[in-house]
Structure 1
Amino acid sequence: MKILDNYIDQLLEKSTPQAPVWNIEKIKSGGKSTWNYIDGCMIKAVIELYHITGNKKYLEFADSFINYFVNEDGSIQSYDPKEYNLDNVNAGKTLFDLYKLTGREKYRKAIDTVYSQLKGQPRTSTGNFWHKMIYPNQIWMDGLYMAQPFYMQYEVEYNNKANCRDSYEQFLHVYDLMRDTRNGLYYHAYDDSREAFWCDPVTGLSDNFWLRALGWYAMALVDTMEVMPEEMAEEKARLGAVYKELIDAMLPYQDQESGMWYQVVNRGRIQPNYLETSGSAIFAYAIMKSVRLGYLDERYFAFGRKAFDGICEKYLSEENGELQLGGICLVAGLGNKEMREGTFDYYMREPVVKNEAKGVAPLILAYIEIMMREKAER
């Protein structure tokens, strides 16, 4: 996959912490670069590239990028833990590896800075973290990926496993509250208070099955299970069963020709629904990784590989001498009443862009899984 190697190099060569070319949200807003989950996704993928290739240019890039934001006392530029926004936890995952790889004490202190947010994060009546302070009583699928792998890893490595069960139980509540028992898919969000304009007043659920939200949840399960302590074998098996149910629910919706999934998963035949890159790449990664870790049988690997190949064939192309990855939904959420009401039409309205990290990073992670498999087979 020389083309993908070249594409990754192209993105890194053009990016600095102040102006990463993959953060299309920031570029469109014209805002100053900040500590954010989008860059966190990309830098995590770059660190994983270092692990698989041993090429120091990846470690140097990741270290330089995160170093720019982290102060010597462990505080983080542009990040306020008391905003209580789960998205801001995601970039904290990079700190575990960077601390071990570089020995920079400020990364260890910054891990505690990020953890301080989770200690104060408001919770729903079930004990789940609110997605954001500005969205009271709401659980979004996105938030499980943003926070839970970090939370579990912190507990295992730095807090004597004190709150591992809390993280585990938050997944179980989501299984009970947000899964549609008819098709096994999960709704994008849930309002514990039933007050949000977008939610069903009886169930508290939003209206649709958004692909990337389901993908965030799949990655959250795989990445959290990976760092769970050995003594939680029974709980890990339970999450493994929840995860397998999710993948088995997604496979009937996988496009037979491309191996990808649609932006609104169960409405593939309705125009203008489209095969979406970021969510498809996330599932490609999650499926292939979970086969490697033994959470899924060997036969599932082909489904993940098919999605990866389909994305590259459909959306990775060359324009004006530069590689481009298209088909990426820029952003989708539930909030502003005029703009983000969670209908099918809403998910179709959001911009589709190229080279955005929410699509690029999981495609790199899926590529790494293919490299790891090839390495193991040599």
Structure 2
Amino acid sequence: MNINLPDYFDAYARDYSLYKGGASCYEDGCLYRGLIMLHEATGEERWFRHLKRLADAQVRPNGELAGYTVDEYNIDNVLPGRAFLYLAGRTGDDRYRKAADLLAKQLETHPRIEAGPHWHKLRYPHQVWLDGLYMALPFKAEYAAAARQSRLAEQALGEMLSALRLTEDKDANLYRHGYDESRQQKWADPATGLSPAHWGRSLGWLAMALVDLIDALPPGASTNQLSARLLSLLLRLQELQLPDGRWLQVIDQPELAGNYAESSATAMLAYAYMKAARLPGLSPALADTGQKALDGLMTNAMIKNADGRTVLGNICCVAGLGGFDGNYRDGTPEYYLTEVLHDDDIKGVAPLMMAYSEFVSAGDAMAGQDRITA
């Protein structure tokens, strides 16, 4: 199927309804990241108009955010702050900067585990999830640059390195979805505090967090440590990539009954590989793996729905750890296969926007142009 991705993205943004009824949330923040990257890569104002229209529905004139309360201490809520920094820089409108300031203030008092990283949420105490590293740390580094607060960049770097040490599964050369400092959760290994499985999207969040954080940090020995960690992860994930270019929901268990190629993890990793290829000290050849993943999504996951509309299929709607909606998510490999799939969920579409933007930025010399219409 020959697909014009810009037209698909334009229609998606045009018809998008704010994910949680208007309350500022990370899902909308994901879309904002995708639109920002499309704007930067193409220079087309339509992407900026979509971004501003949607963000303006959530940012009050005084910089307050719809549906936001700081004392929820939800790390997910921080992600939209990156868009507010972008909008502040592009428009000079102070309300966006005030909104970013509000989220930065949350991080000043957001609870932390003893080793430094923030709790995932107040309702998930003493826990670090890979998802949360993407939600908070690139924002912290970008805010540090905008506010000229270098200590925040140093803080973000230290927190990432600490989180990597805590969540690392050295035997698998991968990272587990969650870590419980208290060892109180049923999903937590009593010795390590780690959750049981390697969830594809959590590794996608981590890879995106690493490439974006490295890009936002000044060069130095500690940043080089992050780059080394990133390269090791990307080389390991190459071994797990399916022949069609995608990655599995439970990323390292192809023999697991019911396991499937999941689109959000694949899109996130496509973006991470292509962006890593242009970071200092990393190999341009990494882009080939990202290109293969993007091609794999185009060929195998872009489908027509019952209404004849092109959609991105095979997206896990949500997955997590511990109590949620009356259920206890035990983090086993089998658990991740029980979660519902939603076509066109923003957690798949936004990373696809990011991956396509990296493709555009790299130029037409990359393979697969016959399936990716500019």
Shift of 1:294: 3.2
Q: 1:325 to 1:295 in 2, by over 3 A?
A: farther
User: What residue ranges of structure 1 are gaps of 5+ in the alignment?
Assistant: 27-31
- Which structure ranks higher in relative contact order (CA pairs < 8 Å, sequence separation ≥ 6)? 2
Deviations 1:125-164 (A, max 9, x none): 1011000011110000000000000011112220430232
Match of 1:151 in 2: 140
Which of the residues 65, 84, 88 maps onto 1:95?
84
Question: Which residue does 2:356 correspond to in 1?
Answer: 367
1:81 Cα deviation after fit? 1.7
Distance (Å, rounded) in 1 between the aligned partners of 2:171 and 2:286: 23
DSSP 3-state at the match of 1:59: helix
1:340 to 329, 340, 349: 329
Work out the number of aligned pairs and report it: 362
Partner of 1:111: 100
Work out the CA distance in 2 between the residues paired with 1:328 and 1:3. 20
AA of the residue aligned to 1:328 = I
Distance in structure 2 (CA, Å) of the matches to 1:55 and 1:266: 39
Which of residues 42, 46, 51 is equivalent to 2:40? 51
1:11 paired residue number: 12
Partner secondary structure for residue 339 of structure 1: strand
Q: The residue matched to 1:298 in structure 2 has which SS?
A: coil
Partner residue in 1 for 2:62: 73
| Distance apart, 1:376 and its partner CA | 8.4
Alignment of 1:157-176 (within 5 A): 157-176=146-165
TM-score, normalisation: structure 1: 0.92
Q: Name the CA distance, whole Å, in 2 between partners of 1:193 and 1:214.
A: 23
Q: Identity rate of aligned residues, in percent?
A: 36
Match for residue 352 of structure 1?
341
Superposed counterparts of 1:188-227, under 5 Å: 188-227=177-216
Question: Measured at CA, do residues 110 and 374 of structure 1 come closer, stay the same or move farther in structure 2, by a change above 3 Å?
Answer: same
Counterparts in 2 of 1:66 and 1:154: CA distance versus 1, 3 Å: same
Q: 2:266 aligns with which of 270, 273, 280?
A: 280
Give structure 1 regions of 4+ aligned residues with deviation exceeding 4 angstroms.
none
- Select the residue among 255, 280, 285 that pairs with 1:299: 285
Render the CA deviation track for 1:51-92: whole Å, top value 9, x for unaligned: 222221211111111111111211111111221100000111
* Residue type at the aligned position of 1:323: T
State the AA in 1 paired with 2:237: M
Q: Is the 8 A contact 1:228 1:236 kept in 2?
A: yes
Distance in 2 of aligned mates of 1:221 and 1:82:
27
Determine which of 239, 245, 251 is the counterpart of 2:226: 239
Amino acid at match of 1:7: Y
Contiguous gaps of at least 5 residues in structure 2: 367-374
Match of 1:336, SS state, is: strand
For residues 277 and 115 of structure 1, what CA distance do their matches in structure 2 show? 31
Question: So what's the TM-score if we normalise by structure 2?
Answer: 0.93
Q: 2:301 — aligned with what? A: 315
What is the alpha-carbon distance in structure 1 between the residues aligned to residue 361 and residue 43 of structure 2? Answer: 13
Deviates more, 1:200-209 or 1:288-297: 288-297
Deviation at 1:40, TM superposition (A): 0.6
Pick aligned residue for 2:74 from 85, 88, 97:
85
Please give the alpha-carbon distance, in whole angstroms, between the structure 1 residues aligned to 2:47 and 2:288: 28
Paired position in structure 2 for 1:29: none
- Cα drift, residue 204 of structure 1: 0.5
What is the Cα deviation at residue 13 of structure 1? 2.3
Match of 1:250 among 237, 242, 253: 237
Whole-Å separation in 1 of the counterparts to 2:103 and 2:288: 37
* Distance of 1:208 and 1:321 partners within structure 2: 37
**How many Å separate the matches in 2 of 1:149 and 1:111?**
13
When structure 1 is superposed on structure 2, of 90-99 and 287-296 the one drifting more is 287-296
Give, in whole Å, the separation in 2 of the partners of 1:67 and 1:295. Answer: 39
2: distance between equivalents of 1:171 and 1:363? 24
Rounded to whole Å, the distance in 2 between the matches of 1:313 and 1:295 is 32
Which position in structure 1 is the counterpart of 2:252? 266
Q: 1:37 to 1:207 in 2, by over 3 A?
A: same
Where does residue 324 of structure 1 map in the other structure?
Answer: 311
Are the aligned partners of 1:129 and 1:139 in contact in 2 as well (CA < 8 Å)? yes
Aligned partners of 1:363, 1:295: CA distance in 2, in Å?
25
Alignment of 1:17-32 (within 5 A): 19-20=17-18, 23=19, 26=20, 32=21
CA contact (8 A) 2:22 2:57 kept: no
Matched residues in 2 for 1:184 and 1:210: separation?
14
Instruction: Tell me, yes or no, if the aligned pair for 1:339 and 1:346 is still in contact at 8 Å.
Output: no
Higher mean Cα deviation, 140-149 or 40-49?
40-49
The answer as to whether partners of 2:22 and 2:58 remain within 8 angstroms in 1 is no
Q: Which one is further off, 319-328 or 154-163?
A: 154-163
Find the aligned partners of 1:160 and 1:304 in 2 and give their Cα distance.
Answer: 34
